[in-house]
């Protein structure tokens, strides 16, 4: 897959020399065949590169140091073909900085009942070798994903593929710059947080730029650039009459194009992958850059409104993981509630900024007044979201750690909003509105979220594992009493965590 073609995952096979050089030669041949099979399966988004067997502490350390220093390497898959005494892994595992997947599989699928002898047993020891390796990781409290299954099975490959996408997004986040036009919305708590901890823990860097710096770029946008952008709008969307050429609000669309072109240039000049805006920080702009935010999200720029840099970064990360998958993703906000018994739901929207990747039909491009921000009427894409199951996620700062909250949600058919011309989704949180919204509120979840149709909770579990942050999942099995216990236990765990490791 093109999006991930510059990445590699290294495959490292654990063995030992107890059974002689011939055994290691056989282990090597099996590993080569397995890695070839993984790559030829067509199910894995990232190329697997076999890095040989490791048979000693020095070899483990050398291999993992090389993984750390290799820019293309986004993670390491380990597998114990024979018994691999795990003290030899300690120093290497202490050094390893890249995400790790421990694959518990076996070269042969079934027991060769009629021919199996002691030589075969000495060679094929994953059943106990992987448990020895599991112990040392558990003992060292190392984050990792354990995938169990035959290496050719679809389910095994699918779980490796999920982890690969997450590892790729993790690599992408390590040099992520988030540009904020303006600060956090005054007085808002949940979207704020510790940006130093975020850089240490999650990798990305957050910078603020006064909107005047963007205005300077806007002033240099040419008429030719705007004309080309308007042609793009006309090709991709259904334009309302008032924004068509000659329409009374055409100039608003021209100004929206100017803002979009300038923001894209600004982000490119900073090497940024995500950005935030604020309706409180629009001096020198014609309108809230709603259309720009929608279209830049669709290109993969993470977005957060009102200075919400954590959600902006998470939107980028979730977009990155989902590249090439069916679905789409967006920044969303819990907008208003619809009480309707079993079908009680939450309308998801924002003032304007919802990503067209989740649209059911071709979006309409419209200009309407906006009763906030004190600027001209902004352009925006208007659409409703396709039905289906997705996942909503957020990260909040609990003071001593980041907490990721994940909720599986079912998007249902929305109704027309003739007096509220914005893009929107309508969802029922799992297991139902009462428990889903209740658990989210107990956990301190934001009113903003990063939503994806393409991802499942497994992606975000893998992400939280790699990042070493708290994860709470709200799904069909959630009960409020168990969820409250989990939150309390997590509080204790994160207080003691440093003492344990």
Which of 384, 255, 397 has the alpha carbon at shortest distance from 330? Answer: 384
| Among the listed residues 44, 211, 230, 305, the single contact to Mn ion using CB under 5 A | 305
**Per-residue interface string for the shown chain with Mn ion, residues 136-175, x marking contact by CB under 5 A:** ----------------------------------------
Dihedral of the alpha carbons of 367, 372, 373, 379, in degrees to the nearest 10? -10
Residue with tokens 């959630």: 478
- Total of chain residues touching Mn ion, rule CB under 5 A: 3
Instruction: Give the tokens for residue 439.
Output: 């658990």
| Position 437 contacts Mn ion (CB under 5 A) | no
| Position 349 contacts Mn ion (CB under 5 A) | no
Q: Output 169 or 381, the one with its CB closest to Mn ion.
A: 381
Query: Cα–Cα distance between 1 and 321 in angstroms, integer?
Result: 12
Asked whether the bond before 309 is cis by omega within 30 degrees of 0, the reply is no
At its nearest, how many Å lie between Mn ion and the CB of residue 312?
Answer: 12
Query: Cα–Cα distance between 350 and 277 in angstroms, integer?
Result: 13
| Position 333 contacts Mn ion (CB under 5 A) | yes
At its nearest, how many Å lie between Mn ion and the CB of residue 308?
Answer: 7
Residue with tokens 């993703």: 329
Q: Which stretch binds Mn ion (CB under 5 A): 21-29, 100-108, 173-181, 327-335?
A: 327-335
Query: Cα–Cα distance between 440 and 323 in angstroms, integer?
Result: 27
Secondary structure (DSSP) of 303-349: EEGGG-HHHHHHHHHHHHHTTTSSS-EEEEEEEEEE--GGG-EEEEE
At its nearest, how many Å lie between Mn ion and the CB of residue 374?
Answer: 17
Q: Which stretch binds Mn ion (CB under 5 A): 87-95, 332-340, 361-369, 483-491?
A: 332-340
At its nearest, how many Å lie between Mn ion and the CB of residue 454?
Answer: 23
Q: Which stretch binds Mn ion (CB under 5 A): 123-131, 168-176, 333-341, 414-422?
A: 333-341
Q: Which stretch binds Mn ion (CB under 5 A): 195-203, 277-285, 329-337, 391-399?
A: 329-337
Q: Output 99 or 193, the one with its CB closest to Mn ion.
A: 193
| Position 259 contacts Mn ion (CB under 5 A) | no
Query: Cα–Cα distance between 115 and 378 in angstroms, integer?
Result: 75
Pairing outcome for strands 470-474 and 402-411: parallel
Q: Which stretch binds Mn ion (CB under 5 A): 76-84, 100-108, 326-334, 408-416?
A: 326-334
Which residues would be at the binding site for Mn ion (CB under 5 A)? 305-306, 333
């Amino acid at each position: 897959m093109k999006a991930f073609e510059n990445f590699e995952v290294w495959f490292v096979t654990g063995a030992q020399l107890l059974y002689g050089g011939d055994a290691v030669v056989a282990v090597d041949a099996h590993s080569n065949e397995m890695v070839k099979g993984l790559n030829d399966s067509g199910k894995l988004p990232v190329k697997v590169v076999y890095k040989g067997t490791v048979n000693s502490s020095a070899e483990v350390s050398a291999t993992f140091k090389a993984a750390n220093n290799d820019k293309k390497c986004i993670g390491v898959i380990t597998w114990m073909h024979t018994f691999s005494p795990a003290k030899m892994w300690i120093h290497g595992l202490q050094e390893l900085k890249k995400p790790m997947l421990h694959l518990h599989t076996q070269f042969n699928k079934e027991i060769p009942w009629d021919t199996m002898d002691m030589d075969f047993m000495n060679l094929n020891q994953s059943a106990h070798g992987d448990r020895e390796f599991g112990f040392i990781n558990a003992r060292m409290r190392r984050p990792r994903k354990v995938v169990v299954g035959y290496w050719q099975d679809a389910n095994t490959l699918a779980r490796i593929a999920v982890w690969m996408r997450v590892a790729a997004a993790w690599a992408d986040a390590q040099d992520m710059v988030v540009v904020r036009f303006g600060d956090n919305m005054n007085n808002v708590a949940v979207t704020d947080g510790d940006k130093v901890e975020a850089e240490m823990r999650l990798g990305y860097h957050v910078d603020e730029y006064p909107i005047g710096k963007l205005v300077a770029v806007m002033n240099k946008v040419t008429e030719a650039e705007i004309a080309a952008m308007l042609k793009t709008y006309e090709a991709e969307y259904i334009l309302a009459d008032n924004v068509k050429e000659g329409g009374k609000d055409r100039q608003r669309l021209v100004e929206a194009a100017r803002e979009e072109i300038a923001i894209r240039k600004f982000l490119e000049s900073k090497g940024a992958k995500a950005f935030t805006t604020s309706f409180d920080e629009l001096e020198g702009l014609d309108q809230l850059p709603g259309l720009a935010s929608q279209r830049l999200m669709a290109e993969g720029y993470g977005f957060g409104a009102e200075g919400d840099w954590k959600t902006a970064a998470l939107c980028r990360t979730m977009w990155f993981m989902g590249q090439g998958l069916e679905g789409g993703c967006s920044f969303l906000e819990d907008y208003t509630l619809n009480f309707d018994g079993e079908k009680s739901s939450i309308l998801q929207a924002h003032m304007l900024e919802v990503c067209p990747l989740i649209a059911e039909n071709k979006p309409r491009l419209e200009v309407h007044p906006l009763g906030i921000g004190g600027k001209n009427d902004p352009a925006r894409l208007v659409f409703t979201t396709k039905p289906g199951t997705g996942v909503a996620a957020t990260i909040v700062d609990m003071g001593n750690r980041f907490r990721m909250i994940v909720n599986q949600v079912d998007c249902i058919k929305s109704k027309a909003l003739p007096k509220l011309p914005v893009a929107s989704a309508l969802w029922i949180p799992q297991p139902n509105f009462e428990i889903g919204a209740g658990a989210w509120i107990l956990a301190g979840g934001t009113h903003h979220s990063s939503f994806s149709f393409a991802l499942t909770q497994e992606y975000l579990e893998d992400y939280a594992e790699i990042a070493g942050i708290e994860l709470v999942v709200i799904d069909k099995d959630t009960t409020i009493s168990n969820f409250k216990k989990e939150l309390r236990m997590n509080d204790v765990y994160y207080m003691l965590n440093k003492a344990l490791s």
